[in-house]
Structure 1
Amino acid sequence: MHPGMKVARATLRGLPANPRRCFSATAFCRRPFEERDYVLLKKKRGYDDQGTLCKLKSGHSYHNHFGVIHHNDIIGKEPRQVVKCGSNEYRIHEPTLADYVRLTPRLVTPIYPHDANLIVSLLDIHVDTYASSADSPPMEILEAGTGHGALTLHLSRALHAGNPPPPPPKSPAFDDEQNMEDAVYDGAGLDELNQKSWQDDRRAILHSLDISAKHSKHARKIVAGFKRGMYARNVDFHVGDVSAWIAQQKASRKTDDPFLSHVFLDLPSSQSHLANVAPALHPNGMLAVFNPSITQIGECVDEIRKQHMPYVLEQVVELGVGTVREWDVRQVKPRATLKKPLGVESEPSSPSTGPVDPEKEQQARDGELAEELLEKQEEEKWAMICRPKAGQMVVGGGFLGLWRRMERSSTADSQAEA
């Protein structure tokens, strides 16, 4: 009997189900390629071949100028076996996450694996293995700017261990019992009930938000296509504005308490959402902002200072193909350089015994007022520093700013209310 059928039957009888997880990367769990799997085709002797990504469908074939590879010739074979294509031979591989991101069709430029891995590492995500008796709330991460779905896959992989095994797929052998369950639960089938129960039991959730419904739909397909949707169930996709989504979540949860452990913003106007993100982010949670320009990171720094937001900047790094270079981005007050207005001469410190000249007295008062005004302007004036720290050169990439959510002090609260 198929293991999934055993689990489904055990569930119907009210017995505990313990589905076994299968880790495809381990040597003892290698399985042949099946229909709907993605394979990477590489020339057997082409060491510089980047490969071709192909989704297996029974009866379909892959064509190139060397010949034809029938999908039925690949289905049933194991990784690293060889198939013929005319007079050439191709070796079939199971694509890595980097291969999958690089070769899947795209509507927008993805965050490439070397940058995505660094972002996940800097967020310092730690997820323990799933425990159904956990009393603490689940870890929830917000990714605003789904895009291609590349970073979504990397984040979901980091969270994967915190969730229970997914429910077994619906089996056609239990149609009668399924209909019986439909009648009992007012149209909610056993498969839907198992899925809802599984979602409620998740201990690690990734909310991926994009303003474009087209991009969100495409990213959902990209995430669902990798390893048969192994990491897709950890992600809840949403369409809309970040600030509006956070307000909607507060209303549906009926609380103003923070619920997000980390937030990642890949938006052209990230600084406009920072104030709304802060109340939803747990203290000590990380806020990461990814932008192609360092001046956009500087705008976030400026907005946080002006609005007295409860963030402390930890680091700004420049991402690229080579090494990672850290930047110094901060606002400082320059030293006051008070200059005396032209045409105003210094007055003696001791009072004069001679007659008072009203014109000179007025000039002296004007000079004092000008100095006071200049002092005030110098005190309120800030200068932005954006310069790379000493290090190696990098090529390409973008800029990532990392802030940590801190407790809002009473001084900051009074300034914000004012």
Structure 2
Amino acid sequence: MALLIQKYGGSSIPSLARIKAVAQRIAAAHHAGHDVVVVMSAMGGTTDQLLAQAQDITAAPLPRELDALLATGEQVSNALTAMALHDLGAEACSLTGWQAGILTSRDHGSADIIDVCPHRVRDALDHGVIPLVAGFQGLEPGDADVTTFGRGGSDTTAVALAAALKADACEIYTDVAGVYTADPKVVPEARPLACLTHQHMREMAASGAKVLALPSVEYARRHGVALHVRSSYDDSPGTVVSDTSSEAAYPQQGPSVIAVTHNPHSAKIALPGPLGPAPATLTVRRPASASARRSTPLSYASHTGYGDSFHDECTATASLVGSGLHAHPETAATLRRAMERAGIPFTLLTVTDTRITVVCHHAVLTDTVRALHKAFLTHMPEPAVPRRSSRLALRS
């Protein structure tokens, strides 16, 4: 039998009824003979509610106290799921991140995991108990302060535990049937992908895909952890993210576009050249744009001869993700024709081997994503499903 890490996101547990349903899935895996470690996110909407309460108290909550507050959301869902498992006849034990041995840097709100010492988790498994670990949180060992990892941090908790415990599978449960060729809420005809490399998943997460948090993908890549993204609402096969299983699915015979991603929260900053033509352009996430506007003229423009910067917060980005994109200029040419046919003005921002990104007005972002998906992915053949290792096949 196998050691499974199962992580459940907030969209999987928006209610007590869903917590009971998730508990049944966990108990079924345990009763089948598997050792199961569970990582829980806060119930859907809880983190936003806690943030709103903090803002009602003060416009500038202390980062240390904000972490102490936000960490409670995962602890609530964790304890409730343990209660539901006990009610199903399965022994379970809820643990905070620090009780599970998650040690972090001292960066409140954006801490990095520096070590995992899962002694209590192993002890629970040795006694036939299901350990449930509150995601998104850890302990800074110097001051013994609670820290959190930022949005999506429970994904990173799951990956870190999978690496430390040498788990047979790390399953990330959400409300969709895997990683799609585009956000299905934007492109209804988008379809789930059977498999991805860590690099492709990293590019997707970095350019706006929300199904996996970027730090968790980077951690998984560094530590060789294969991920299995699945729906907690059904038994669909989901998406395997693994560098050992995807090469056969996407043979390199030219450029390959596998997905379209988008980020509606971008602000464009343009730096006019010293002689006036063709400004240099960069984008930042919109919440950071004010600080970027302050720092850019000092740290960049004043040292290069560029003039004053200007910004546009009504912009967004859309990206093609794939392989061999830089070496085949026809891909960018096809993108240009698709945008022109749709009548959408845009700026070509970056072209790399694995990603092409364009900047467009926020109002036409949906049209942009749909136009690019139609041009590159509507008739894309289904990738061959690779042979999975016996470890990943356990939950197929």
Common fold by TM > 0.5: no
Question: What TM-score results when the alignment is normalised by the length of structure 1?
Answer: 0.25
Larger Rg computed on CA atoms? 1
